[in-house]
Structure 1
Amino acid sequence: MPLATSLPGAFPAALAEEVPFGTSYVRDLARNMASKPFEAPEEKLPDGIKDLDYDQYRSIRFLPERALWRSEKLPFEIQFFHRGFFYKNKVDFYEVSGGRAAPIRYRRDDFAFGDKIGPVPDVDLGFAGFRIHAPINRADYHDEVCVFLGASYFRAVAKGETYGLSARGLAIDTGEAKGEEFPFFKAFWLEKPASGATSIVVHALLDSKSATASYRFTIRPGASTVFDVEMTLYPRVELQHAGLAPTTSMFFFGPNDRQNVDDFRPAVHDSDGLAIFNGKGEQLWRPLNNPRDLQAGTFNDLNPRGFGLMQREKNFFAYEDIESRFERRPSLWVEPIGDWGEGSVVLFEIPTKEEIHDNIAAFWRPKAAIPAKSENNYTYRLHWGPDAPKPNSLARFTRTGVGTRGEGSKLFVLELAGDRLKEVDPDRVKGAVSADKSEISNVVTQPNPETGGWRLSFQCIVKNAPIELRAVLMQGDQPISEVWIYRWAP
């Protein structure tokens, strides 16, 4: 049914009642909205709710027994977030069943407010976001699997993991001097799963001053939790600095970057590196930093095969934090489906003095600006889990250690692991290391009996920083590891 017939009028008033829902429904909404001026989201809240502080907001709890579909004992359940604190935008929700979409109404009695909040009026305040629960760790219990809350942010976990980094629907003008624009999810449509279903489908409508977009997420929890994402983007204006499949994380410090750190823990981070599998078939590994000044890295490519922010270090003793459990944080791998053309994987590293801030961002930026009034389709797969899908058997860099070795000199110690290293001829293994604006010396490669892998170390004479470094482990003239790339700056 055409949009003009099924939904006369403007969003969201026209969606107040049950309506037919088809595969193009949300896409038609996004296209229709993009042809009209942007309208700011509704943020009005009654007294007693509009000015909540952090502790007050955290005291609001959705009652699990009121979860959507719990009474029907379906494999997925939905719980909702109340509006308030940072999350004032009103987000609309609909249940899709039998080819029709019906509104999901806010009910005050679905929440417990604790003793830190005064009386809450019994009116329809709407929701701020939602989370999906499913039996991911135990067959008899619905664990929290993913959450959509705030702007276009969402995050997920796999079996045995705790929350860490986030994804976003769209990034606009990240790192630009004029400031970043934050698109937001305006509404969601939740498809009611069948009994015994192993996946759930969520549709989303995104809006911002510069663009609208529709999304279809097919979410499959498990040992790795996978999102199949179908996105259609409608720019209101030309998008010169769009970021597709954006990811956001935190890197405070690690063995490669402990400058001015006084902390009992050896490392604090949700992700320790950016991995790229480029269109040429190269595997790249870029360890993360907490720089003194904003750093931007651009990795040009044609039809990338994958990229993502990884948490490779999985040993508790690398962090020594029994509360945060950084070793249980997921990696997030972005797998483009189809050809994405020319562009670049962009990495931003932002200085931070606290671990509470997400200071890392990575995404795909098309080389050409995305024209205004155009329709653009992107399909990709998000893998949340302990590791990225392995494209081949090349050894991987698992740790980057950096220290001072005399005045004006740095020592780099790189650890590698992988089955490929068990088959090498030790007499033919060597490290190939290069750097700009610097001198490399004392390149040493040796097996590490404690890890079962190999160690590559070298010294770097610092002349002019920042320094771009590159290393790979070779057997004869053949690479047996991915390529380590690194930017060092004082």
Structure 2
Amino acid sequence: MRRRDLLLGGIALAGAGVASGWVYAAPSAAPASTAKPAAATAFEASAVRRNAQSLAQAPYAIKDNKLPDVLAKLSYDDYRKIRFDADRSLWRGSGRPYEAQFFHRGFLYKDRVQIFEVADGKATEIAYAPELFRTDDLQLPAQADQGFAGFRLHGPINKLDYFDEICAFLGASYFRAVAKGQVYGLSARGLAIKTASAEGEEFPAFRSFWIERPNPGARSIVVHALLDSPSAAAAYRFSVTPQEVTTLFDVEMVLYPRIDIAEAGIAPLTSMFYFAANDRIGVDDFRPAVHDSDGLAIWSGRGEQLWRPLANPEELQVSSFVDDGVRGFGLMQRRRHFSDFKDVEARYDQRPSLWVEPVGNWGKGAVHLVEIPTKSEIHDNIVASWRPAVPLKAKSEYIFNYRLHWCSQNPGTTPLATVAETMIGGSGREGSRLVVIELTGESLRNLPDGKQFQVEVSADKGRTAFPVAHPNPITGGWRMSFEFMPDDAKVVELRAVLKNEGQPVSETWIYRWTA
């Protein structure tokens, strides 16, 4: 799926300041829909789980998602003309801290998803009606029920009297979110299967959603989801909680494979990296960088903190970071100044980072990173996920609980300095490359007079030379640098860390250089 497509329906959120608290002015009441109300049925969260388990016991059934040509053949621009009428938002005028709006089917989004409102232990399907949408000069087909492709949730995260878009579920099992002052960037998915496989990737899809009606004073809103695909079915519970600087998704996932799955991606993240100072060969662009994420961060089960700058390779690259009991991983956007990108429209400096925090021990496996070549910023070309070491067995049950942090910086605190930027270029000597790594953090301050940090650097091929560390008086951090000579190697795995008397004072920088 193209990056441009995944961002459909999103809005650019203003970075206005917000006073603390959740008191807000409720909008005016919404006019009623003419759609015939659906009958309510009893609902409990365990029913979604039982439904997923039942689905997995039967052969996969292909859904009939046929659309009239006027919708199926919509262009990107025409699809954008179909906008949900905000005055008809679910719960508008009710005094509740959230509202829900819905996406129309069409363009790439042909799959029909059922969406229910849950209240007082009962679920009522949200009825489709054409008057729920504004279409400018576009005429919708006369058929009464075209259905929904997904939904989005709004709340007062930037201003107390305005409901900004917080998150959206649209397309396969994709969803995305923002925190205060951010605009949409990378996405998450419910499940990834066979990413970068020669057989072709499988895209599981959410088929149904149950949105719990929030109480007027609620901090969180809960969404249940049913996922289905040829290889597996799964049940999800998402608890969405916007906070002052972070939007949290507490995710409970129960997975039921139909078949053995050797290439499952748990908590998959999808992002875009086009170019930056470490990798801009062949790019002719006025901007200094273009990316939604600039690196993969990992906190290993052993407590080691790793930073892997992203790249836009000439050929597909797959990396696996083997671990046992991973504590967290994420695709992070660490460059946070407008001058880092100088893009007035895209505002890459306001894109969220996304950190995955496992709840409980996920055991042995690997953080799996896929980097796909791209010649444009409209393509999402980066995928990161957790891959269990042992294939998932058919007809079994697997539980993965985790917390997603849509944030600007790594959640929590660390005593180690972090990598702020990686820069790579010619060294002035033939056959040699210069690597410069900017570091920031409290561990770099108050070094006793006469003391000096040491750079520990290694390469699995080629040679390294002249490791140097010195303070950067402009940033208040430190800069470490070294040269490396790849010689005849086409791929070189590099590793560097800043130390003080043999102990690390920075996270470990790892990088794959390609000729």
- Whether the TM-score (by the shorter chain) exceeds 0.5 is yes
Question: Could you give the per-residue CA deviations for residues 279-320 of structure 1, whole angstroms, max 9, x where no partner exists?
Answer: 000000000000000001100000100000000010111101
Rounded to whole Å, the distance in 1 between the matches of 2:430 and 2:412 is 40
Query: Residue 119 of structure 1: CA displacement?
Result: 4.2
Please show how residues 296-445 of structure 1 align to structure 2 within 5 Å: 296-405=318-427, 406-425=429-448, 427-445=451-469
Q: Give the residue type in structure 1 aligned to 2:511.
A: Y
Q: Which residue of 1 aligns with 2:212?
A: 191
Question: Could you give the per-residue CA deviations for residues 182-231 of structure 1, whole angstroms, max 9, x where no partner exists?
Answer: 00000000000000111000000000001000000000012100000000
Contact 1:435 1:469 in 2 (8 A): yes
Query: Residue 78 of structure 1: CA displacement?
Result: 0.3
Q: Give the residue type in structure 1 aligned to 2:506.
A: S
Question: Could you give the per-residue CA deviations for residues 117-151 of structure 1, whole angstroms, max 9, x where no partner exists?
Answer: 23421511110011000000111111000010000
Rounded to whole Å, the distance in 2 between the matches of 1:23 and 1:357 is 36
Q: Which residue of 1 aligns with 2:162?
A: 141
Q: Give the residue type in structure 1 aligned to 2:58.
A: K
Query: Residue 159 of structure 1: CA displacement?
Result: 0.3
Please show how residues 69-218 of structure 1 align to structure 2 within 5 Å: 69-115=91-137, 117-218=138-239
Contact 2:45 2:224 in 1 (8 A): no
Rounded to whole Å, the distance in 2 between the matches of 1:145 and 1:207 is 25
Query: Residue 74 of structure 1: CA displacement?
Result: 1.1
Please show how residues 176-325 of structure 1 align to structure 2 within 5 Å: 176-222=197-243, 223-325=245-347
What's the secondary structure of 2:72's corresponding residue? coil
Q: Which residue of 2 aligns with 1:4?
A: none
Rounded to whole Å, the distance in 2 between the matches of 1:278 and 1:119 is 52
Q: Give the residue type in structure 2 aligned to 1:358.
A: D
Contact 1:70 1:77 in 2 (8 A): yes
What's the secondary structure of 2:51's corresponding residue? helix
Q: Which residue of 1 aligns with 2:26?
A: none
What's the secondary structure of 2:480's corresponding residue? strand
Please show how residues 39-50 of structure 1 align to structure 2 within 5 Å: 39-50=61-72
Q: Which residue of 2 aligns with 1:482?
A: 507
2:51 alignment partner, one of 21, 29, 33: 29
Q: Which range moved further: 265-274 or 67-76?
A: 67-76
Q: Give the residue type in structure 2 aligned to 1:195.
A: P
What's the secondary structure of 2:379's corresponding residue? coil
Query: Residue 22 of structure 1: CA displacement?
Result: 1.1
What's the secondary structure of 2:66's corresponding residue? coil
Q: Give the residue type in structure 1 aligned to 2:267.
A: A
What's the secondary structure of 1:25's corresponding residue? helix
Rounded to whole Å, the distance in 1 between the matches of 2:446 and 2:363 is 37
Contact 1:34 1:234 in 2 (8 A): yes
What's the secondary structure of 1:56's corresponding residue? helix
Rounded to whole Å, the distance in 1 between the matches of 2:290 and 2:345 is 12
Query: Residue 23 of structure 1: CA displacement?
Result: 2.6
Question: Could you give the per-residue CA deviations for residues 89-124 of structure 1, whole angstroms, max 9, x where no partner exists?
Answer: 000000000001111111100101111x23421511
Structure 1 residues 298 and 194: CA distance shift in structure 2, 3 A: same
Query: Residue 424 of structure 1: CA displacement?
Result: 2.6
- Equivalent pairs: percent with the same residue? 55
Q: Give the residue type in structure 1 aligned to 2:91.
A: W
Rounded to whole Å, the distance in 2 between the matches of 1:481 and 1:340 is 26
> What's the TM-score, normalizing by structure 1?
0.95
Contact 2:278 2:422 in 1 (8 A): yes
Q: Give the residue type in structure 2 aligned to 1:434.
A: S
Q: Which residue of 1 aligns with 2:14?
A: none
Question: Could you give the per-residue CA deviations for residues 424-468 of structure 1, whole angstroms, max 9, x where no partner exists?
Answer: 336231111111111111111000000000000110011212100
Query: Residue 391 of structure 1: CA displacement?
Result: 4.8
Rounded to whole Å, the distance in 2 between the matches of 1:182 and 1:254 is 30
Contact 2:72 2:108 in 1 (8 A): no
Query: Residue 237 of structure 1: CA displacement?
Result: 0.4
Rounded to whole Å, the distance in 1 between the matches of 2:140 and 2:367 is 49
> What's the TM-score, normalizing by structure 2?
0.91
Contact 1:77 1:134 in 2 (8 A): yes
What's the secondary structure of 1:128's corresponding residue? strand
Rounded to whole Å, the distance in 2 between the matches of 1:439 and 1:241 is 35
Quote the RMSD (CA, aligned, Å).
Answer: 1.2
Rounded to whole Å, the distance in 2 between the matches of 1:109 and 1:229 is 34
- After superposing on structure 2, the runs of 4+ consecutive aligned residues of structure 1 that deviate more than 6 Å are none
Q: Give the residue type in structure 2 aligned to 1:424.
A: L
Q: Which residue of 2 aligns with 1:468?
A: 493
Query: Residue 73 of structure 1: CA displacement?
Result: 2.6
What's the secondary structure of 2:54's corresponding residue? helix
Contact 2:177 2:247 in 1 (8 A): yes
Q: Give the residue type in structure 1 aligned to 2:92.
A: R
Q: Unaligned regions of 5+ residues in structure 2, if any?
A: 1-37
Question: Could you give the per-residue CA deviations for residues 398-419 of structure 1, whole angstroms, max 9, x where no partner exists?
Answer: 0000001222110000000001
Contact 2:157 2:164 in 1 (8 A): yes
Question: Could you give the per-residue CA deviations for residues 41-62 of structure 1, whole angstroms, max 9, x where no partner exists?
Answer: 3321124222111111011110
Contact 1:428 1:476 in 2 (8 A): no
Q: Give the residue type in structure 2 aligned to 1:470.
A: R
Contact 1:107 1:122 in 2 (8 A): no
What's the secondary structure of 1:72's corresponding residue? coil
Query: Residue 489 of structure 1: CA displacement?
Result: 0.6
Contact 2:130 2:140 in 1 (8 A): no
Structure 1 residues 84 and 119: CA distance shift in structure 2, 3 A: closer
Rounded to whole Å, the distance in 2 between the matches of 1:280 and 1:348 is 23
